Chains A and B, each alone.
Chain A
Amino acid sequence: MKDMHGILFAYSSNVRLKELTEHRTASSIPYGGRYRVIDFMLSNMVNAGITDIGVIMRENYQSLLDHLGSGKDWDLSRKRGGLRLLPPFAYAGARRDTAVTAYRGKLEALYAITSYIEHIRQEYVVLADGDLIINLPLEEIFAKHLETGADITCVCLAREPGYESDAYLRTDARGRVKEVLLSGLDKDVYPCVGVYILSKTLLGKLLADSAAHNYVNFTRDVLQRMQGQLNITAYIHEGFSTRPQSVADYFRQSMCLLQPEVRRDLFSRKRPIRTKVRDEASTYYSPESHVKRNLVADGCIIKGDLENCVVFRGVRVEGGAKLKNCILMQDTRIQSGVDLAFTITDKEVTVTKGRALKGHESYPIAISKGSIV
Chain B
Amino acid sequence: MKKECIAMLLAGGQGSRLYVLTTHVAKPAVPFGGKFRLIDFPLSNCSNSGIDTVGVLTQYQPHELNAYIGSGQPWDLDRLEGGVHILPPYQQNKGASWYKGSANAIYQNISFIENYNPEYVLVLGGDHIYKMDYAVMLEQHKRTQSDCTIPVIEVSREEAKRMGIMNVDENDGILEFEEKPAEPKSTLASMGIYIFTWEKLKKYLIADEADPKSKNDFGTNIIPSMLAGGEKMTVYRFSGYWRDVGTIDNLWEANMDMLSGEEIDLSNPAWRIYARNPTAPPHYIGDTATVSHSLVTEGCEVYGGVFNSVLFNDVTVEQGALVEYSIVMPGAVIERGAVVRYAIVAENAAIRSGAKIGAPPGMFKNSPEDWGVAVVASGVTVGPGKAVGAREMADADLV
Q: Which residues of A contact B (CB under 8 A)?
A: 32-34, 72, 258, 260, 263, 266-267, 272-274, 277, 279-287, 289, 291-299, 301, 310-311, 314
Interface pairs A-B: 10 shortest CB-CB: A33-B282, A282-B34, A281-B266, A282-B295, A267-B281, A272-B279, A297-B282, A282-B297, A285-B291, A287-B292
- With beta carbons under 8 angstroms apart, the residue of B33, B266, B280 that contacts A272 is B280
A279 to B74, CA, bound (A): 9
Chain B contact residues: over half helix, strand or loop, or mixed?
A: loop
Task: Check if B277 sits within 8 Å of A282, measured CB to CB.
Answer: no
Q: Contact string, B270-286, partner A, CB cutoff 8 A, digits 1/0?
A: 00111101011111111
Task: Check if A32 sits within 8 Å of B282, measured CB to CB.
Answer: yes
Given that A292-B285, A294-B285 are contacting pairs, would A285 and B293 also be in contact in the complex, using a CB cutoff of 8 Å? yes
| Interface assignment of B298: CB less than 8 Å from any CB of chain A | yes
| Complex interface: chain A residues within 8 A of B294 (CB) | 284-285
A284 to B265, CA, bound (A): 12
| Interface assignment of B46: CB less than 8 Å from any CB of chain A | no
A111 to B283, CA, bound (A): 42
Closest residue on chain B to residue A35 by CB atoms: B281
Which residues between 52 and 90 of chain B lie within 8 Å of chain A, taking CB atoms? Answer: 73-74
| Interface assignment of B261: CB less than 8 Å from any CB of chain A | yes
| Complex interface: chain B residues within 8 A of A293 (CB) | 285-287
Closest residue on chain B to residue A314 by CB atoms: B267
Task: Check if B281 sits within 8 Å of A263, measured CB to CB.
Answer: yes
Task: Check if A282 sits within 8 Å of B286, measured CB to CB.
Answer: no
**Chain B residues touching A, range:** 35 or more
| Interface assignment of B317: CB less than 8 Å from any CB of chain A | no
A258 to B73, CA, bound (A): 33
Task: Check if B282 sits within 8 Å of A281, measured CB to CB.
Answer: no
- List 10 additional contacts besides A281-B266, A281-B295, A287-B292; criterion CB under 8 Å: A260-B284, A273-B281, A279-B272, A279-B275, A282-B35, A283-B283, A284-B294, A286-B292, A293-B286, A295-B283
A298 to B311, CA, bound (A): 12
Given that A283-B297, A293-B286, A311-B282 are contacting pairs, would A277 and B33 also be in contact in the complex, using a CB cutoff of 8 Å? no
| Complex interface: chain A residues within 8 A of B292 (CB) | 285-287, 289
Task: Check if B281 sits within 8 Å of A34, measured CB to CB.
Answer: yes
| Complex interface: chain A residues within 8 A of B295 (CB) | 281-284
Task: Check if A281 sits within 8 Å of B33, measured CB to CB.
Answer: yes
Q: Which residues of B contact A (CB under 8 A)?
A: 33-35, 73-74, 259, 261, 266-267, 272-275, 277, 279-287, 289, 291-298, 301, 310-311
Closest residue on chain A to residue B279 by CB atoms: A272
- With beta carbons under 8 angstroms apart, the residue of B266, B267, B279, B287 that contacts A273 is B279
Closest residue on chain B to residue A294 by CB atoms: B285
Task: Check if B261 sits within 8 Å of A292, measured CB to CB.
Answer: no
| Complex interface: chain A residues within 8 A of B301 (CB) | 260
| Complex interface: chain A residues within 8 A of B273 (CB) | 279, 281
- With beta carbons under 8 angstroms apart, the residue of B274, B291, B310, B311 that contacts A279 is B274
Task: Check if A263 sits within 8 Å of B284, measured CB to CB.
Answer: yes
| Complex interface: chain A residues within 8 A of B259 (CB) | 284
| Complex interface: chain B residues within 8 A of A260 (CB) | 284, 301
| Complex interface: chain B residues within 8 A of A280 (CB) | 35, 267
- With beta carbons under 8 angstroms apart, the residue of A291, A299, A310 that contacts B267 is A299
Contacts A/B (CB < 8 Å), 12 sampled: A279-B74, A281-B34, A281-B35, A282-B310, A283-B296, A284-B259, A285-B292, A292-B289, A293-B285, A295-B283, A296-B283, A301-B261
A260 to B292, CA, bound (A): 22
Closest residue on chain A to residue B302 by CB atoms: A291
Measured CB to CB, the closest approach of chain A to B34, in angstroms, equals 4
| Complex interface: chain A residues within 8 A of B33 (CB) | 281-282
Given that A33-B282, A279-B275, A281-B34 are contacting pairs, would A298 and B298 also be in contact in the complex, using a CB cutoff of 8 Å? yes
Task: Check if A291 sits within 8 Å of B282, measured CB to CB.
Answer: no
- With beta carbons under 8 angstroms apart, the residue of A279, A289, A294 that contacts B284 is A294
| Complex interface: chain A residues within 8 A of B283 (CB) | 283, 295-297
Task: Check if B298 sits within 8 Å of A277, measured CB to CB.
Answer: no
Task: Check if B285 sits within 8 Å of A291, measured CB to CB.
Answer: yes
Measured CB to CB, the closest approach of chain A to B301, in angstroms, equals 8
A294 to B289, CA, bound (A): 10
Task: Check if B281 sits within 8 Å of A282, measured CB to CB.
Answer: no
| Complex interface: chain B residues within 8 A of A295 (CB) | 281-284
Measured CB to CB, the closest approach of chain A to B304, in angstroms, equals 13
Residue picked from B282, B295, B310, most chain A C-beta under 10 Å: B282
Task: Check if B297 sits within 8 Å of A287, measured CB to CB.
Answer: no
Given that A285-B291, A296-B296 are contacting pairs, would A277 and B282 also be in contact in the complex, using a CB cutoff of 8 Å? no
| Complex interface: chain B residues within 8 A of A32 (CB) | 281-282
A293 to B280, CA, bound (A): 18
A266 to B281, CA, bound (A): 9
Measured CB to CB, the closest approach of chain B to A46, in angstroms, equals 11
Measured CB to CB, the closest approach of chain B to A291, in angstroms, equals 5
